[in-house]
Amino acid sequence: MRRKNGAAYVISKAIRRARVVAFPELGMEAVCEFEVQDMPVTVAVDSTGTSIHHTGPVFWREKIRSSSAYAKDGPA
**CA-to-CA dists, residue 18 to 5, 34, 43, 49, angstroms:** 21, 4, 21, 27
pLDDT at 75: 54
Reply yes or no on whether the pLDDT at 14 is more than 70.
yes
Q: Where are the domains of the chain?
A: 1-41, 44-76
Residue 2: predicted pLDDT:
66
Residue 35 near residue 25, CB atoms below 8 Å: no
DSSP state of 51: B
CA 40 to chain centre: 9
Cα separations in angstroms, 3 against 6, 8, 11, 57: 8, 11, 14, 34
49-61 pLDDT per residue, tens: 999 999 999 999 9
The pLDDT assigned to 70 comes to 57
On the question of pLDDT at 43 being above 70, the answer is yes
